[in-house]
């Protein structure tokens, strides 16, 4: 097996640490015409989740 370069591991650690600041938010949105629900998915920064869910 080949060994991975140490510089590649440092980049992956930084990217994974930055990725932990984002959250996938799924909202149920009701259609005014039919009354059926559909789902909207977005990737939102973890500090902005409550604002997103409040509709701001």
> pLDDT digits over 39-54, tens only?
999 999 999 999 998 9
Residue 12 has pLDDT above 70, yes or no: yes
- Distance (Å, whole) CA 56 – CA 47: 13
What is the pLDDT at residue 22?
93
Residue 15 has pLDDT above 80, yes or no: no
Residue 7 has pLDDT above 90, yes or no: no
Quickly state the pLDDT bin for 6 (edges 50, 70, 90): low
Provide φ and ψ at 35, rounded to 5°: 85, 0
Q: How many other C-beta atoms can be found within 10 angstroms of the C-beta atom of residue 2?
A: 4
């Amino acid at each position: 097996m080949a060994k991975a370069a140490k510089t590649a591991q440092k980049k992956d650690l930084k990217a994974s640490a930055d990725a932990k600041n984002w959250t996938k938010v799924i909202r149920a949105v009701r259609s005014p015409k039919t009354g059926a629900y559909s789902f909207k998915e977005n990737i939102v920064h973890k500090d902005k989740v409550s604002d997103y869910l409040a509709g701001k």
